[in-house]
Structure 1
Amino acid sequence: SSRKRINNRQITQFIFFTEVHHTEGGSARMSLLILLSIFTCSASVMYLVYRNFPELNDDEMEKIKIPKDMDDAKALGTVLSKYKDTYYTQVLMAYFTTYVFLQTFAIPGSIFLSILSGYLYPFPLALFLVCLCSGLGASFCYMLSYLVGRPVVYRYLTERAQKWSQQVDKHRDHLINYIIFLRITPFLPNWFINITSPVINVPLGVFFLGTFLGVAPPSFVAINAGTTLYKLTTAGEAVSWNSLAVLGVLAVLSILPVCFQKKLQQKLE
């Protein structure tokens, strides 16, 4: 019965992919307009948040930008740490909204913000903050894809999405473990997971929880590196062989319950 259920789901998805493919032209244009509108509104919210920020001099204003490398992260950290205690709420809100904004629109730079959190905040708060921002941002990206991203997936990622859909169907009974495993390991890019998950019917609740828990191990490494931010010269230095080994062990542990469950089912059958 489970095989029939999987086959029926795959047939339905194939038909769905095929039907949308014929009408994707107009949908893609409309989706782009909606996406631009949502991006503009989000950017306006970001602007309002930064308008609430304390008044900065010209030199400090130059350092308030999305970090593209470790030098930018260090410069940003210098400014934020100066105002963090006096304007705690404003700095926290600016950090939070920026991180969620980057994750929502799949804009690079969040790795530097993860490292920066370890420099600005106590470790438990930094870890919770990064996991929450990652979970919310990825979920907003999921919802954007659900609303307007399907034509893009159907036009440019059809083959990859269909292959991943088959993998998701195999792990449908233990989907949280599978999402956690994917977030820890680099097998699939995060942006790909975010935009294709609603298309292949990954539930939003499972998606959020799996992301929240799955980003914790790599965030642990980045935040820990942030405590020595000014000794780093590149983001790659935040990852050591020891940290890679820890991530590997955690990835295996995340998938172990699935293996035990399958063996138990085989014995019972």
Structure 2
Amino acid sequence: MPRPSSLLVVRDNHQSCSASMYTLDTVDYRDDAEHEPLLTPATPDYGATVPRSPGVPSSRRIILNATLKMACIFIVSTALLGGTLWLALPKLEESDRPMLRIPKSFQQLQDLNFLLKKYRDIYPFRIFVCYVTTYLFLQAFSLPGSMYLSILGGAVWGVARALPLACCCVATGASLSYLISSALGPALLTLPKWKAVLDKWADKISANKENMISFLIVLRIAPLPPHWVVNIVCPHVGIGLVPFWISTALGILGRG
């Protein structure tokens, strides 16, 4: 018959083994828990859906930056136009001031024609500078009124001098629009609709690559597409500034 002390030793050994088994079971269970994923499909993502590459701005941010830059360019250009007109225009009589405006109707065009003829004989160089500056501003931002200025130039200087002047003004103003689009237009490539338009025109230009100048002249003579579309698209489809200027001037000459 075993001694009581031996029973105590066996019992203690049994309890130690049970405690050890319990401890191992606990560790094994916790190890399995550590191998489980921390995020399951039921775990909320708190708005983090698609990770973005660091340093790559979103399409909306690119368009916003381009819009702000375009607004700054327009404000600065408007200030330069206003400053040029303020410095170059001769001092007008009080009765002539209401007639000095960008013409938007035939009556306003007649009034401006009378005013320019009156001051042309007195200040020929100042009138020329104001006319060219206003024409370039309208063309650069595709604003209405350039057609009236072309007619007005013919009435003031005659068709023989006004037509080449108008061609140069249109080509130079369109080139300014070309440069603005070249700098800020890549933001439009983030929009699928504009990218599809550019791809379409790129295919057309590639098909007429051997007769590029003739193709661009036809675009200027034809009523469609609008000239502002051509100005915006051309820098992004591989057309250089020099052929763009030449084709624009010849196209306007052909229309005149």
Q: Map 1:2-151 to 2 at 5 A.
A: 23-51=58-86, 52-151=88-187
Q: Could you say what secondary structure the match of 1:58 adopts?
A: coil
4+ aligned runs moved over 3 Å, structure 1? none
After superposition, give the CA deviation of every residue in 1:157-214 in whole Å (9 maximum; x if it has no partner): 3332222211111111211111111101112110000011111121111111100111
Q: Percent identity?
A: 30
**Which letter does structure 1 place at the counterpart of 2:79?**
S
Higher RCO (CA 8 Å, separation ≥ 6 residues): 1
**Is 1:209 aligned to 2:251, yes or no?**
no
Q: Taking structure 1 as reference, are residues 37 and 116 closer, same or farther at Cα in structure 2, changes over 3 Å only? A: same
Cα deviation for residue 154 of structure 1 reads: 4.8
Q: How many angstroms apart in 2 are the aligned matches of 1:183 and 1:79?
A: 31
TM-score, structure 1 length as denominator? 0.70
Q: 1:197 aligns with which of 217, 227, 234?
A: 234
Q: Is the 8 A contact 1:68 1:109 kept in 2?
A: yes
**Which letter does structure 2 place at the counterpart of 1:135?**
A
RMSD of equivalent CA atoms: 1.5
TM-score, structure 2 length as denominator? 0.73
Q: How many angstroms apart in 1 are the aligned matches of 2:166 and 2:190?
A: 31
Cα deviation for residue 66 of structure 1 reads: 1.1
Q: How many angstroms apart in 1 are the aligned matches of 2:171 and 2:190?
A: 25
Unaligned runs of 5+ in 2: 1-56
Q: Map 1:118-267 to 2 at 5 A.
A: 118-152=154-188, 154-155=190-191, 156-218=193-255, 220=256
Q: Is the 8 A contact 1:153 1:196 kept in 2?
A: no
User: Would you tell me which structure has more helix in proportion to its own residues?
Assistant: 1
